Structure 1
């Protein structure tokens, strides 16, 4: 396949360039040492301000914003980083066409922002890169069809009407159906290469999509064998992602040969009963050969979220693990304050975990085409839930070791519910970014302003933490 040959040659260029986390051309001295301890807000514009807040009954702002789903260093300039939006402002909604999402800006195009930090800690936007199909047309954030991982989410406008192929005409299943988009992305993971291209992982397929420097798709990886767009494939088990909890983090090894993705939460493997657990999966994809490998990660609590991953070395990575709580209560007010909110960054080492391909098969250990490695007829998710991690270890399957690097609540009194971006600046400085959800929230399907406490509107904020990232 021509695209595979092209991709392999591109990777070779990246390897020859010798990319490492410290290879950027501008010194970090001058912005990390003087960065404000309380963090620095990212700029935003207003997408719309005509909707009525479901709690206050007053107009509120939907902001753009939203640059918090992932974060990565600009490998060519040390005081710059890229940040990713997800599918756009949205909220759970149950309308006349089934359960789904309200998209108050249904035409929103997911995008990558390039930001710069000056010597005083101020963050400015350098440019915004809109994501596009291979033909150059803009993608949307609308859900995929079921053949490519869609979970039946119906997209609605803010007024409760369905998003249609032609909104000027009545709904008709045949001639004017509900609008879905097989190029639509709910982006959550981001990699920036030295050649200016990007890889984005998402929560829909999950898909991992390669974009050129202008945001045009040039390659794709997912678990769907019949998708002709694919350069390589993920193991089929990843198609069992939990709705809205797909491949939340994406990194690349310093030599730019291997993508490393982490799922947000436990897979629905084989069904929803398995998803409320503490087992998540890490997958590596060699960009030269397409070979994949899987490892397990053990969360501190069931249904936590692994929200980003960033490379330190070929085998060592930083991983976000968080809950969904607000330190100060968020939209729920003071009564919902959670002083023990978990917003942690861990260091992991893949060499300490068991590569799942190394497990020998037997009468009780088999590999299923759809559900992956199975023990006694149970998926790994089921086996760990039923028998515990010690029993899994007795079978030779161990998760990666992890060590706490930063507790953001203790370090910064971190007020946000979501912590989704990591920027490895150097061996002793880490950037952390929250997702502000475009400053929107919803209660029982009604949109409202997203607050951190009784008065403070959530916004994207960069924090820079001094820590021993390498563990030396």
Structure 2
């Protein structure tokens, strides 16, 4: 059973990056807010490779780095700087001779954190690249984990359809030269930057929550796998049932830096895939001093939406992205004028801490599947009986209030909205994931376009709004 984490009810100031931190020259300036373009500013990128042939145009196209939109967070002391995270690298669904998996056109790619600075004219520059590394200092990859640590059987392939092997210069052999997997591999999606210069990253594989020092070297790890000797604390075992490619998509930390707050992207496959196409997602808190955890529920606007970021306002209040996967203008899919790209404010004190639910004749706890009602997991129970029935069991999701609708604000053209940067109480940065400017149709790679002429890129938008709800 999870221990109860008591969260202070005292409202505190917004995290570093807010107006309260402005005033000294070495911390930067907020003057960029006066000149920032309404339609956003593009992040710089380099080209990883440009020799592959686009499956639709039959022309070569660029795979870009880019890819810095999986998460973002404010620099703890410099108000005109932010950190942004890449995921595992460019990839696409692919089925080859060794089963279903992913094509990795840059299989050697190292996930990384970028430090960016916004100039007074609104332009953005890359200040630093921090490659993520193992405890021994060697760089990690974005390749899948083994099944013992949450891997879902994804086979990594090169762009030519050959499997990624431990030694690519030799033929495949199940024993002496097997498929290459990486238990340090991360598909990073959540990012926290602490005042001591270290980072926490959450991912979609384990999910894992990994602590990196200022140079990107791993110094600690949290996950739900009891046999993983690298861990300092554990998540509840239920998180092993994350839906493939929809793991811990957002990560935040309380202002006192004692508690991590993670949110799952979508409904978990708890106990199986039949339960995952729903509108119930989970929030978990982890006390970094004691390891104690607590869980809360979030109700999405529609089934299979994505919660792709969480950012801290106070000890209890957070901003959460909720989006679908559609394109307003079409892009590689059909245009959807009802595309949903929204930011909500939530308050954890309004949700029911799951550890407080008393056991009874109808309520029990399972070591693997968590809280059970009438023999069903919470995910199953909501699918079968609905949220009203859950409320009758005295279980409520966190309250949510719409703060920003990005489609209304800027006619947001991207499919993915995955980064939030709280600049001050009235300004929010929003960043998209451009997928390294790549897309795939039926497993074939192509350039990712937003319309007939515009290649998707990491675009920072800054929106003025009342974030605190005062």
TM category, shorter? over 0.9
Native 8 Å contact 2:17 2:78 kept in 1: no
2:422 matched to which residue of 1? Answer: 424
Q: Deviations over 1:285-330 (max 9, x none)?
A: 0000000000000000000000000000000000000000000001
Q: Deviations over 1:317-348 (max 9, x none)?
A: 0000000000000113xxx1111100000000
Q: Deviations over 1:43-89 (max 9, x none)?
A: 00000000000000000000000000000000110000000000000
1:403 matched to which residue of 2? Answer: 401
2:113 matched to which residue of 1? Answer: 112
1:263 matched to which residue of 2? Answer: 264
Q: Deviations over 1:175-234 (max 9, x none)?
A: 000000000000000000011000000000000000000000000000000000000000
Query: Residue 454 of structure 1: CA displacement?
Result: 1.2
Native 8 Å contact 1:20 1:255 kept in 2: no
Query: Residue 265 of structure 1: CA displacement?
Result: 0.1
Query: Residue 34 of structure 1: CA displacement?
Result: 1.4
> Within 5 A, what are the aligned runs for 1:16-31?
20-22=16-18, 24=21, 26=27, 28-31=29-32
> Within 5 A, what are the aligned runs for 1:6-405?
20-22=16-18, 24=21, 26=27, 28-332=29-333, 336-405=334-403
Counterpart CA distance in 1 for 2:450 and 2:189 is: 22
Native 8 Å contact 2:16 2:77 kept in 1: no
Q: Deviations over 1:392-444 (max 9, x none)?
A: 01001100000000000000010000000000000000000000000000000
Counterpart CA distance in 1 for 2:381 and 2:340 is: 26
Query: Residue 368 of structure 1: CA displacement?
Result: 0.3
Q: Which runs of 4+ in 1 moved over 6 A?
A: none
Query: Residue 29 of structure 1: CA displacement?
Result: 2.7
Which blocks of at least 5 consecutive residues in structure 2 are unaligned?
Answer: 1-13
Native 8 Å contact 2:238 2:369 kept in 1: yes
2:444 matched to which residue of 1? Answer: 446
Counterpart CA distance in 2 for 1:361 and 1:38 is: 52
Query: Residue 20 of structure 1: CA displacement?
Result: 4.2
- What is the total number of aligned residue pairs between the two structures? 452
Counterpart CA distance in 1 for 2:298 and 2:380 is: 15
Native 8 Å contact 2:417 2:433 kept in 1: yes
Query: Residue 33 of structure 1: CA displacement?
Result: 2.1
Counterpart CA distance in 1 for 2:467 and 2:93 is: 37
Counterpart CA distance in 1 for 2:78 and 2:402 is: 28
1:460 matched to which residue of 2? Answer: 458
Counterpart CA distance in 2 for 1:24 and 1:244 is: 37
Native 8 Å contact 1:19 1:194 kept in 2: no
Native 8 Å contact 1:258 1:286 kept in 2: yes
Which blocks of at least 5 consecutive residues in structure 1 are unaligned?
Answer: 1-17
TM-score by length of 1: 0.95
Counterpart CA distance in 1 for 2:325 and 2:302 is: 12
TM-score by length of 2: 0.95
Counterpart CA distance in 1 for 2:28 and 2:158 is: 46
1:11 matched to which residue of 2? Answer: none
C-alpha RMSD over aligned residues: 0.9
Native 8 Å contact 1:207 1:221 kept in 2: yes
Query: Residue 27 of structure 1: CA displacement?
Result: 5.6
Native 8 Å contact 2:270 2:377 kept in 1: yes
